[in-house]
Amino acid sequence: MTTTPNTEHALRQEVRDLTDEWLAAGRYTPRSDAWLRSFDAEFSRELGRRHLLGISWPRAYGGRGLGNVARLAVTEELLRAGAPVAAHWMGDRQIGPAILRYGSDRLRDELLPGIVAGEHVFCLGMSEPEAGSDLAAVTTSARRTEGGWVITGRKTWTSHAHHATHAYVLARTSDGERKHQGLSEFIVDMHEPGITVDPIHDLAGQHHFNEVVFTEAFVPADRLLGTEGDGWRQVTEQLSFERGGPERVLSSYVVMRTLLDGQDGGDVPELGDLIARLGALRQLCHDIARALDEGEAPIQAAASLKYLGNLFEREVVEAAFRSRGAGIVSAASAFGDGLLASPAFDIRGGAQDVLLSIIAKQEARA
């Protein structure tokens, strides 16, 4: 699945035309961290109507069959524009690809067209209150019952669970000698009885995080994703999609743009260094996308990108802070919005010590 320069240019122009159109009409305000904090179901459906979701997927499921390099062109432009993409991001980025890799034909037919259309909203049931970034420590359980499973447990920091139609849930289906064993992945209908969603408000008082409680929530047998008990291997491969994308580099691009345009009104001596690092990180994004197109699971490269990208994103915000000098910061400004988003950069998708551990282990095996 090779993406030609002409195809990439055409895709970028498609996205720019759409975001320019919506901006001109005042239909959204560019935001930092838009892939998590800016939710607009209609914008996602519009992307679906323009065939800009699932473009790396087979045509049989509504995709374009263009590969992950093509998807990178689309996602970079959306993030640069600070567009409201949170409604489709999880489904398009990782749940759809996970279903393509591990889902049954029935699961693919049932769920992929809805993701491509921007109709299905997925949340991620990974983190737990007592587990932190250690996914192997999850205690949420899935117990067999007639016709399927019942899930009991708690998930936290679950973005947009209050909007979600479906949840991906990592749960323990058996106990093994090692805590990595006995984990399985499920796709859960969020409208099932036994699921409650409690809001968690961020520093600005905004609601996009949640805690989700499962109390004997039923999951049909065909919603098991992949092989029972093989969830750890599957989820670590899935995290290549989560950690290896441009959202690990461009979450603070709306702030970066104010520096590039001189809007902050101050001197930014480190701007050249930031531009050079951005170029290197974008190349790493491209390398990861190409590896995914070749059927690889670039776990180490994705962890490296997230680690380096988090440092870069935080330093963009710090550079903007230094350029502004003292003064009151409005939360509604590009800088204020980025500043409020920045505490999460280092945590989501794996804390720094977890990422360094992954990198070190992969090096040891090499």
State the catalytic residues.
242
Contact indicator for 96, 83 with CB cutoff of 8 Å? no
R_g of the chain computed on alpha carbons: 20
Please state, in angstroms and as integers, the Cα–Cα distance from residue 319 to each residue in 279, 324, 332, 363, following that order.
Answer: 17, 9, 19, 33
Contact indicator for 38, 112 with CB cutoff of 8 Å? no
265: left (phi over 0), alpha (psi -120 to 50) or beta: left
Contact indicator for 122, 189 with CB cutoff of 8 Å? no
Contact indicator for 221, 148 with CB cutoff of 8 Å? yes
Report the distance separating Cα 98 and Cα 186, nearest Å: 11
177 Cβ neighbours under 8 A, 6+ residues apart: none
Residue in 170, 87, 89 with CA at minimum distance from that of residue 128:
170
Report the distance separating Cα 27 and Cα 318, nearest Å: 29
Q: List 186's β-bridge partners, or say none.
A: 169, 224
Report the distance separating Cα 304 and Cα 313, nearest Å: 14
Q: Phi and psi dihedrals of 364, rounded to 5?
A: -65, -30
3-state secondary structure of 193: coil
Report the 10 Å Cβ neighbour count for 346.
Answer: 17
